[in-house]
Structure 1
Amino acid sequence: MADKIKFSLALVILAAGVAGFYLLSEQAMILRVLAVLVGVALAVVVAWKTEPGQRFFNFANESVVEARKVVWPSRKETVQTTAMVFAFVVVMALFLYLTDKSLEWVLYDLVLGWKKS
């Protein structure tokens, strides 16, 4: 129950930060934006103190660790793979064009007897 109260408080703080942006309409833009940023920062701090917040931040940290383990392809591998994709697209486009024209010829000229003008 305490986590729900803390999370609700975080939402209220966030809403207060956004409301501060509009309530400070006569002030400089930097103060208005600062009100929103302070509201977001305080809401994050309060949400962090909840059990679901702790799980989320642990998950985020583990995700960063896993992303660092990714082996990215070299420039040469990337260029080769991109070239293969483009070549496949060209071959597939040619195949579909020839298939379309063949079916058009079979249906219009041979089956239906229509001549294109």
Structure 2
Amino acid sequence: MINKIKLVVALLLVAAGIAGYYAIADQALVLRILVVCAGIVAAVVLTWTTPLGKEGLGFIQDSVAEAKRVVWPSRKEAIQTTVAVFVLVIVMAIFLAIVDAGFLKMVQWLMGRSA
């Protein structure tokens, strides 16, 4: 139950930061943004003390580790793949235009409306 209360308080901290942004509308924009950031940071710190927050932190750590293991394509491979995609898109567009024109002619023939 205490963890649910912590999550609710974390949401209230974010809401308080946003409310503070509007409450000090006559102050400098930097100060207003810092109030929102302070609310978000306080909420994140409080959330990390819950099991849900620890799972989220573990997920982020696993995601960063997985991103480091990714083998990114070289510039040449990326360009070749991009060109292949563009060529396929153009070929499919031409094919679909021909099919569409064929269906148009067929519907006009079936309806007895010759163009």
Structure 2 counterpart of 1:2:
2
Q: Looking at CA atoms only, which structure, 1 or 2, has the larger radius of gyration?
A: 1
Alignment of 1:21-100 (within 5 A): 21-100=21-100
Unaligned 5+ runs, structure 2: none
Q: 1:4 to 1:97 in 2, by over 3 A?
A: closer
What residue identity is the alignment partner of 1:27?
Answer: Q
Large movers: runs of 4+ above 6 Å: none
Q: 1:9 to 1:81 in 2, by over 3 A?
A: same
Unaligned 5+ runs, structure 1: none
The separation in 2 between residues aligned to 1:113 and 1:24, in whole angstroms, is 70
The CA deviation at 1:104 is 5.0
The CA deviation at 1:108 is 5.1
The CA deviation at 1:2 is 1.3
User: How far does the alpha carbon of each residue in 1:89-108 deviate from its partner, in whole angstroms, 9 at most, with x for none?
Assistant: 22223333334445555665
Q: 1:83 to 1:6 in 2, by over 3 A?
A: same
What residue identity is the alignment partner of 1:31?
Answer: L
The two structures have a TM-score, normalised by structure 1, of 0.81
The two structures have a TM-score, normalised by structure 2, of 0.82
The separation in 1 between residues aligned to 2:106 and 2:11, in whole angstroms, is 67
Counterpart check, 1:18 vs 2:13 = no
Q: 1:23 to 1:77 in 2, by over 3 A?
A: same
The separation in 2 between residues aligned to 1:10 and 1:113, in whole angstroms, is 68
The separation in 2 between residues aligned to 1:84 and 1:40, in whole angstroms, is 44
Aligned residues between the structures: 115
Q: Percent identity?
A: 44
The CA deviation at 1:113 is 7.7
